[in-house]
Amino acid sequence: MSEKKAFAALRELSRLSRQSAAGLPAQVDVKPYWSGIGFTLFGKKFVAPMGEVSETLEVPPFTHLPGVKGWVKGVANVRGRLLPITDLAEYFGGKLESGRRSQRVLVLEQGEIYSGLMVDGVYGIQRFPVDEYAPVVRGVDQEALKPYLQGTFLDESTAEPWIVFSPWMLTKDEAFFQAAIA
């Protein structure tokens, strides 16, 4: 076969391939999402920003401490580190509503802060379209909780609100570290 015939055959093959090839899919606009760790407290759904919770645990065995406020449940040994356990509901003047089996601990670790917040339950990672965010929070009766709330996301599938709670804002509050009984 001559070079001209071979080149013509390759050109024809290329043309036929392009003619029968499927087109690329249309580019769909990418919808940005916000992620956080979902949990329940006071019968409501909350979500903590992803970077503010380092892990979630079942409530570990802990040792009660004398001379501390009731919301400090004790200290647990977690992989060789002492983790203070705080009952988040009691800190805000309420009670955990679930039984011990479904309660979980949100572990906060930022700089020198290593602390656990006990909540009624954890839903795991939750994702919300950024455009579903509203800076307004409604339906929260605990006034003490409001300074740590940052807005609401609406669950597209259930139309339920998820309230954004910032554990880091809680750790910046001096009252959170005043655990001793005066």
> What is the predicted pLDDT for the residue at 1?
58
- Which residue is listed with tokens 């087109």? 23
CA distance 57 to 49: 17
Are 84 and 75 in contact by the 8 Å Cβ rule? The answer is yes
Q: How many CB atoms lie within 10 A of CB 137?
A: 16
Homologous superfamily (CATH) for 33-177: CheA-289, Domain 4 (2.40.50.180)
- pTM comes to 0.81
Mean pLDDT in each 10-residue stretch from start to end of the chain (182 residues)?
Answer: 76 81 72 94 95 96 95 96 96 91 95 95 94 88 90 85 95 91 82
- Whole-number average pLDDT of the chain: 90
| Domain locations along the chain | 33-177
